[in-house]
Amino acid sequence: MKNDALYRLTCETEKLRIYAADCSSSARELLSIHMANPHAGWLLAESLAAGLLLSATLKADSDQNLTFRFQGNGKVRQVIVQADARGNVRGYISDPHAFAEGGKNRIFAELIGPALLNITKDLGFGEPYTGVSPVLYGSVAKDTAYYLTSSEQVPSAIVIGTAFGDENISAAGGFLIQTFPDTPVASIEKIEAAITSAGESLSDHLKFGKGILEYVAALFGKSELKILSQSAVTLSCRCSRDLLAQTLARVDTAELRDMIEKDNGALTHCSFCKKEFRFTAQELQSFIDAKDEAGDNQIH
């Protein structure tokens, strides 16, 4: 079985940069964690691939990271993917059991509905930046490409492929092609034509165990591709007991007291990895005591 990987490449001949991801194993694990059905699972897997491709545009091997989020009024209110420049990624879907009739465009429309695509990037230069674009195409790939072109002014083409077998996802991946300021129009037209006329879909290519780089190389024909970097893709959650304790410590005092009286503590879980963390009544009381002490120490 192939290991998941994220690639950064360039084609000097055509003056194009390419990012490619194979995230099949990560997608299978993520859908299993959320117990997602094939419809919601397809949306989550495609979003996972899109988030990873955008993370490849960050500075390699840095602490930079981003959040990819569809937020809409459909059956699935939101899908979130968080990824960093080192290939670590996690994902969440608000309703993993949402179902819709019809083809992919219809499924997307019912699950997401009227929506926005939000991309938040933390580049390590102060406050993170958030860009927003409307969902117009009903396609993870096309709407992500539209965001990049309209919000970041970088002409982009994205292809994402997913395949299911026996109710479980068997393959997921994609590639992103972007221009440089001096990229010839002829190069753009050449690659667009190659994508349109490809004899095999990316979904089928990945389903049969073939590599993402093989598919991308075929689109560029005799033009040489140079791999700038390669990172392993790892499904990895950032949650910890300390982080959840910090969240609980900010909960209103009345709610904390209610948890103590009714449940003798609190059982919390991470929305991304579903890991559970239990906090005792004594720990909740310590949060209340800290609030009271902070209040007493304020200058009136």
CATH code, 214: 3.55.30.10
Q: Please state the rounded mean pLDDT for residues 147-154.
A: 94
Predicted local distance difference test score (pLDDT) of residue 269: 84
**Domain match, 112 and 221 both:** yes
**Domain match, 271 and 231 both:** no
Where is 188: in which H helix or E strand? helix 185-196
Predicted local distance difference test score (pLDDT) of residue 166: 65
Share of the chain above pLDDT 90, in %: 81
Give, as one character, the DSSP assignment of residue 169: E
Q: Please state the rounded mean pLDDT for residues 28-42.
A: 94
In this structure, of 20-29, 148-157, 264-273, 288-297, the range with the lowest mean pLDDT score is: 288-297
Residue 238 has pLDDT above 90, yes or no: no
Of 235, 258, 286, the last residue of a domain is: 235
The pTM assigned to this predicted structure is 0.90
Predicted local distance difference test score (pLDDT) of residue 128: 94
**Domain match, 177 and 287 both:** no
Share of the chain above pLDDT 70, in %: 97
Residue 175 has pLDDT above 50, yes or no: yes
Contacts of 257 (CB under 8 A, 6+ apart): 288
Mean pLDDT, the chain, rounded, equals 92
Residue 300 has pLDDT above 60, yes or no: no
Contacts of 89 (CB under 8 A, 6+ apart): 23, 26, 48, 51, 52, 55, 81, 82, 83, 233, 234, 235, 236
For the CA atoms of 55, 60, 61, 63, what is the dihedral angle to 10 degrees?
-50
Tens digit of each residue's pLDDT (9 = 90 or more) over 50-81: 999 999 999 999 999 999 999 999 999 999 99
For residue 154, what are the domain limits? Answer: 5-235
What is the band of 297 on the pLDDT scale with cuts at 50, 70, 90?
A: very low
Neighbour-count burial of 73, counting CB atoms closer than 10 A to its CB (0-12 exposed, 13-18 middle, 19+ buried): exposed
**Domain match, 87 and 24 both:** yes
Q: Is residue 300 part of a domain?
A: no
**Domain match, 94 and 29 both:** yes
Q: Is residue 81 part of a domain?
A: yes
